[in-house]
Structure 1
């Protein structure tokens, strides 16, 4: 079986690398395409996965994104023909969905982002099956299959992921030292259009508030003034989750990183209006996520939530107990996905 997958986000590289390995071990051929974003290709390099670059970026603004869509779709179709792909898998992608239609092959995807309007439009039209979390907010019709997992468990399930306390030395911390992990995004994704994040002054206010409870490690997609430099630590992508898993708290605008912390037993404060059904489940059922979506009072509400959580000396142990319940409900989905492909292709 020839399986083609497209990666245009760092989280996708993490999500599918075990599936890629399983496919290869079972004797299948895998073609990985990359549209460059946030150094996602470096993650594939670190995993030792070969790939073909079909795009140098995802673009800014509707016109540029539309132009890139046309060029990128052609490149996906060309690679599928050359590779003689039997099936296309990954996340919802207009390029992959259209390519599947043009080649007459099945497109099987996992979606946890309801607000990716363009991707979901083409995916609903041309995909064979759309796997979603249980509390996904949209009804996608007969093609939808709700499954007991979060995408972050594809690579952070305990069957695959083991944190190493020694990795904290990469960011100047000692094993067991208290710290919080902060993430600010650039607000340039297609589903981010029309939204904005904190001002630089507000960002620093939150960081200073977190410093009352320990050190702060900052990750950012955009360039920030020099006063933020002391908080920013560059680490290998494959070590990042090990470091995040040892944080006492996550605060940030990135929902994927919030979920990553959650499935490692770390509480997360998500500061954005762009929530999701998976977020509803993580917040309401497992109580690991706290969403702050009122822009007018977001700084105040974030600081209040920080105080509420970090005033508990055993907050890390509380998170690990909540994680046990989550893992008892959710599946390791990698083997299942490959089994499913072998069944339907």
Structure 2
């Protein structure tokens, strides 16, 4: 079989990397189409995934005309590569996957989550042969939409899949019993981040200074603009492929971005998200809050004070790990599901009974 995967962001690489590896080892031909955005190609290289680049994703100094030209060039390259590869099935999300499927006349499987905005869903839904999303996703995308009990992050953080690198503390140069915190600042440059604001500059500085009183602070600044020279913090500078290992060992993650907070929660690390001006209610995050694995805050003072409270609690790590074991044990291993759906060419009726049981039709008309 020939499987085409559209991976536009680092999160997409993690979503598919184990499935791609298993499909290749089973003798299937897999190609990933990607763009130069953040550390996406760095991850593809690290995990030795077969890929071709269809374009860049620039966010600075953009005009509407420039964006249109770039988009046109990307669609041309994607179409050319898809027709040349002639896939049996395509995985992705949004208009890129839909376009590739239309030109190559291949089945399209969309793997979605509860992101804000309806543009991607509206554009791609009519072209999808199968849509998969977590059960907590609140949208109903029609008869082709099926849900599973879990999160898209279960493709790489499910207990049956994730294996932590025991040497990550050595890479970070922290002692075995040294508490440390990961602080993630969002660049807020994605389409769905338009007009959003996370931590303000003065809040970033205050947060770092207060957390550093109780722990070593590592800062992951997605925008790459923060100067840490006069602050009691270290830049998180490990290879991006090791971020989940660092999260798993951390005493706390504080962020103004949703993905890393969700990931930390699924690893059993206290995960606190500052919403800022983002008033979208994410189904995944609400579920993790219900499970006691994550918390989100509308007030900066509240997230700061709660962070300090957790760092002062001697039993926080044990409590979160216990909650993670109890909660994650029953979640779907999404990599298993992706592999099964790929080998069925996106035709769910061809799945075996055990795989079918983990999927539920979302459409209220069914």
Q: TM-score range by the shorter chain?
A: over 0.9
* More displaced stretch, 184-193 vs 114-123: 114-123
Distance (whole Å) between structure 2 residues aligned to residue 10 and residue 323 of structure 1: 24
For the residue of structure 2 that corresponds to 1:266, the secondary structure is coil
Distance (whole Å) between structure 2 residues aligned to residue 291 and residue 190 of structure 1: 22
Cα offset, 1:58, TM superposition: 5.0
Cα offset, 1:62, TM superposition: 7.6
User: Which has the larger share of helix?
Assistant: 1
Distance (whole Å) between structure 2 residues aligned to residue 62 and residue 102 of structure 1: 28
1:82 to 84, 92, 97: 84
Distance (whole Å) between structure 1 residues aligned to residue 58 and residue 126 of structure 2: 22
Cα offset, 1:167, TM superposition: 1.4
- Whether the 8 Å contact between 1:114 and 1:137 is mirrored in structure 2 is no
1:240 equivalent in structure 2? 243
Relative contact order (alpha carbons < 8 A, sep ≥ 6): 1 or 2 greater?
2
Distance (whole Å) between structure 1 residues aligned to residue 312 and residue 180 of structure 2: 14
Cα offset, 1:45, TM superposition: 0.7
Identify unmatched segments of 5+ residues in structure 1: none
Distance 1:283 1:89, change over 3 A: same
1:9 equivalent in structure 2? 9
Q: What is the aligned-residue RMSD (CA, Å)?
A: 1.9
Cα offset, 1:228, TM superposition: 5.0
1:24 equivalent in structure 2? 24
Q: How does 1:1-345 map to 2 (within 5 A)?
A: 1-59=1-59, 63=64, 64-90=66-92, 92-222=93-223, 223-225=225-227, 226-228=229-231, 230-272=233-275, 273=278, 274-284=280-290, 286-292=291-297, 294=298, 298-345=299-346
1:281-316 per-position Cα deviation (integer Å, ceiling 9, x unaligned) = 1112x1111111x3xxx2111123213433321101
TM-score normalised by the chain length of structure 2: 0.87
Distance (whole Å) between structure 2 residues aligned to residue 291 and residue 233 of structure 1: 23
For the residue of structure 2 that corresponds to 1:79, the secondary structure is helix
Cα offset, 1:65, TM superposition: 4.2
Distance 1:252 1:62, change over 3 A: farther
- Whether the 8 Å contact between 1:180 and 1:214 is mirrored in structure 2 is yes
1:246-297 per-position Cα deviation (integer Å, ceiling 9, x unaligned) = 111110012111111111101111112244111111112x1111111x3xxx
